[in-house]
Amino acid sequence: MNRPELRRQLQALARRYPGIHPYTLSLRFQAQTGRVLSGQQVKQLLAEPGNDRGQPA
| pLDDT score, position 51 | 58
Q: Which contacts of 37-42 are long-range, i.e. CB under 8 A and separated by 24 or more positions?
A: 37/6, 42/10
| pLDDT score, position 57 | 42
Please tell me the total count of domains within the chain.
Answer: 1
Q: What is the mean pLDDT of each run of 10 residues along the chain (57 residues)?
A: 90 93 95 94 89 49
Assess if residue 37 is contained within a domain: yes
DSSP per position, 9-48: HHHHHHHHSTT--HHHHHHHHHHHH-----HHHHHHHHHS
Assess if residue 33 is contained within a domain: yes
Pairwise CA distance, residues 1 & 24, whole Å: 21
pTM of the model: 0.77
| pLDDT score, position 27 | 96
Query: Taking a C-beta distance cutoff of 8 angstroms, is the pair 17, 1 a contact?
Result: no
Query: Taking a C-beta distance cutoff of 8 angstroms, is the pair 10, 25 a contact?
Result: yes
Assess if residue 56 is contained within a domain: no
Assess if residue 52 is contained within a domain: no
Domain that holds residue 34: 3-47
Assess if residue 55 is contained within a domain: no
